[in-house]
Structure 1
């Protein structure tokens, strides 16, 4: 799906985009993008995580559970 435009993303989808005048060297995995002037990112009150126990093999990044 690389370089393919999507109308909708779903949980587990990895979405990327380019930002004019921002080097890929200045962006790290886990960074969050938002409109800092009109709608800044807010701290999460809580979040849900999936913990994988007793997996039959090694887990490498990126790892996702298929649907």
Structure 2
């Protein structure tokens, strides 16, 4: 706050992140956002990440970093 780090509750922090996601998507479009998940996530978890990114935010910028 005001350029300083201060303690915040989880609700405050998540509200800030959600507000910034909306602000970025409105200003620059949904493809300004990306979703990254771990290669250690299961297929089901990665599926949920891509559903969140594509369905809720509207971006195709999704990577799970699973490389063979």
On whether the aligned pair clears a TM of 0.5, the verdict is no
Q: Between the two structures, name the one with larger relative contact order (CA 8 Å, sep ≥ 6).
A: 2
Rg bigger for which structure?
Answer: 1
User: Per the shorter chain, which TM-score range?
Assistant: under 0.3
